[in-house]
Amino acid sequence: MKPQHDISFDLEVARSVHHSTLSVEGIRCASCIARIEQTLGAEEDVQHVRVNMTTSRLSITWYGDEGRVHDFIQILTRMGYHASRFYATTSTSHEEDNASDEASFLLRCVAVAGFAMGNIMLISLALWTTTSQEMGASTRELLHWISALISIPTVLYAGRPFFASALGALRHKHTNMDVPISLALILVTFMSVRETLQQGEHAYFDSAVMLLFFLLIGRWLDARAHGKAREAAQQLLERMRGEATLVLEDGSLQQMAIADLQEGDVVRVTMGEKIPTDATILAGASEVDQSMITGESEPRMVEVGDDVYGGTINLASPITCRVMHESERSVLAEIVALMEHAEQGRARYVRLADRMARLYTPVVHVIALITFAGWMVLGNAPWEQALMIAVTTLIITCPCAIALAVPVAQVLATSWLMKRGILVKGGDALERLSEVDRVVLDKTGTMTLGNPSLLELYDVDYWHRAASLAAYSKHPYSRAISTSFQLYYPDDPLVEIEEVEELVGLGISGRYGDDHVFLGKSDHPHPSGRYVAFWVNDVLVHEFLCADTLRPDAHETMQWLSAHGYDPIILSGDAHHAVEAVAHEVGMIPWRADMLPAQKAHYIMDVQMQDHKVLMVGDGLNDAPSLAAAHISISPASAMDMTQNSADVIMQRRSLSGIVDALFMGRYSTAIARQNFALAIGYNVFAVPLAMAGYVTPMIAAIAMSSSSLIVIANSFRIARQRSQL
């Protein structure tokens, strides 16, 4: 009987997964984030939605039709936000223009409110220091009307950032933090006009304008701080913009936008210019500053055939390059995408802040209503006083400090690491790094550079034949034998070997003329390297001594890890003598040799069963089981390999000190996030009861509300001032 075929399984597999990043304007607070994520997350086949408040970008993943991204944009538009697809090479310029326009408008509003506040304060000084009998009712009424003529236009003009946001939210049947702020401004102004019309003793126009002024100051400083936090990513994106010099088929040169370059285009890069996108050198040799990509300050020598990264700087001679792919697929674009992904991670404190943000708007209005009713009923206060206290309560509550507690720290921490050539791929990687208490390291390609070289010169005849055979293999030791021969004897071309066969784990064999040749493992150990045996017609005729180079700072890194209680250990598949030599060279740390990949993974799982959190440092390709088993993983890798690498963190520097930087920043940034969270919650727990009790004026509430966000941001900026530990 023919087995039944599961069509539903095929349909599930056939559904493609799509991801897009949107730039969203109009996000004001954590309530906005919660509503956007809830609305889009409820859409069919949407797998993941995350909004980054610091960058105002939305990351969304879904199954099915790629064109659904336009539906998501329309949903956001109906919700009152302006959204568009984010493209690294073009969108950032638009975002920067919008941010600049918003900052300029806020600054104008601050200036108008400040000017009005200064004038009204002069009038209020006279009003509050004299009684109506001393001043005269007519004079007091005149001063009230002058205050009204100054304050009402000021509130209408300078309050637009809050009113527009609040109206947009209400129009689309939801609320944000600007709703209670706008309500407070309107209530204070309305109460002041009513008092003036009824020729009351006191009006509160000064309170309305001062409240507006300090709210605007806070909003403007907040926008500046957000821009500062995004600087590192913006600097990367700036390298992706501009023009390149295109070499046409007839040899003439033409300027072209970097965003328009296509795979296969030929470009010319002169001294001091940036390389427009990832490319392969066709002509010329030079030095390239790739510190922005790798964190290495030492320039890299490049020549014909070498790959170069977009955004790096040509320091010396002109070079001609062939474009490998358009800038949207460049290493630089991938780094920016990884940073975005890391910054949008749902760490433990982010999830907690999200839950609190969803409750903010309804809770704050209920608290204000209870405050008003309590003062009216239990406190027997005049309705004007009860209303002012309720308004103060509306103003003083601040969800922004809670919403910013973790994201700002994440943005600054990932930027700090990126500048040192360390790329964080996982969204909660920083938090997991902070939990690590054990470090496991592979040897080859991790403790060492993974590029063995010959330690001696050999008989040219045997070396020539061995190098010719080795050229057919990609094994690191084969490459060392072949490359070294070509380096020392560039005029002696390698010969053709017939019947080549590579025997996995043993070596490579072939036929050279009438001789059978074999290159493979030797039984002779060496304390600092490995012998590779060369056999001709089953006779051992020569042995080549190869050794790998230990990474810079390996000794200092192991000493730091040991001193800070991480108990590093080397797990390697190499022979005992080779692993022991490396362990001895870096400070006699524990080691295990002849381990298979599965054995490494089981060792890590056993350690974690003892309530430890393990960081695995491996090459990301051969150590996939160990990387997956560990609590978090780091891999030394080139930028070109980072998307294929399964590790959570990619370390592009040659030195091992990146492990120290990653562990330090993981702990430090998580500590900062906890401090921010404690500050934000502590502020609301302390400030709200004071406001409800009537001990705070609206002006002080505005200052306190703005200050709470700024304190959280300022505390986060301590991250940017930290130095590398080694």
When pLDDT is cut at 50, 70 and 90, the band that residue 440 belongs to is very high
Q: What is the mean pLDDT of residues 343-357?
A: 60
Tokens of 72: 């998501």
CA-to-CA distance for 143 and 140, rounded, in angstroms? 5
Residue 6 has pLDDT above 50, yes or no: no
User: What tens digit of pLDDT does each residue of 648-684 get?
Assistant: 888 887 788 899 999 999 999 999 988 988 888 888 8
Q: Give the pLDDT band (50/70/90) at residue 8.
A: very low
CATH class given for the domain over 241-329: mainly beta
Please tell me the class of the 453-547 domain: alpha beta
Q: pLDDT digits over 127-158, tens only?
A: 666 655 566 677 878 888 898 899 999 999 99
Q: Look at residue 11 and tell me whether its pLDDT is greater than 70.
A: no
pLDDT tops 50 at residue 287: yes
CA distances, 248 to each of 278, 303, 335, 632 (Å): 19, 22, 30, 48
Confidence tier at 328 by pLDDT (50, 70, 90): confident
Phi/psi of residue 287, each to 5°?
A: -115, 140
End-to-end CA distance of the chain: 69
Q: Is the pLDDT of residue 558 over 90?
A: yes
Can you give the pLDDT at residue 129? 60
pLDDT at 551 over 60: yes
In the chain, pLDDT over 70 holds for what percent of residues?
Answer: 84
The pLDDT confidence band at residue 639, using thresholds 50, 70 and 90, is very low
The string of pLDDT tens digits covering residues 687-708 is 999 999 989 887 788 788 778 8
Full-model pTM = 0.68
Average pLDDT over the chain, rounded to whole?
Answer: 81
Dump pLDDT digits (tens) for 396-426: 876 677 777 777 888 888 889 988 888 887 6
pLDDT band at 570 (very low <50, low <70, confident <90, very high): very high
Under DSSP, the state recorded for 444 is I
Extents of the domains making up the chain: 15-86, 109-229, 241-329, 453-547
**What architecture is domain 15-86?**
2-Layer Sandwich (3.30)
Using an 8 Å Cβ cutoff, are 646 and 661 in contact?
no
Checking if the pLDDT of 20 tops 70, the result is yes
Q: What is the pLDDT of residues 537-546, one digit of tens each?
A: 888 888 888 8
Catalytic entry in 178, 278, 354, 442: 442
Burial 380-393 (b: 16+ CB within 10 A, else e): ebeeeebbbbbbbb
pLDDT(251) > 90: no
Two tokens, residue 265? 């285009």
pLDDT higher than 60, residue 532: yes
* DSSP assignment string, 419-443: TTTEEE-STTHHHHHHT--EEEE-I
Rounded-to-integer distance, Cα 162 and Cα 181, Å: 7
Res 438 pLDDT > 90: yes
pLDDT in tens, 38-83: 889 888 888 888 887 667 788 888 988 888 888 899 999 888 888 8
pLDDT of 14 strictly over 60: no
Q: Are 545 and 522 in contact (CB under 8 A)?
A: no
Tell me whether residue 442 is one of the annotated catalytic residues.
yes
Starting at the edge strand that comes first in sequence, how are the strands of the sheet with 515-526 ordered? 453-454, 539-547, 529-536, 515-526, 507-512, 498-503
Q: Is the pLDDT of residue 301 over 90?
A: no
Q: Helices H, strands E: what count in the chain?
A: 25, 26
pLDDT at 9 over 80: no
Mean pLDDT (whole number) for 370-376: 91
With 80 as the cut, is the pLDDT of residue 337 above it?
A: no
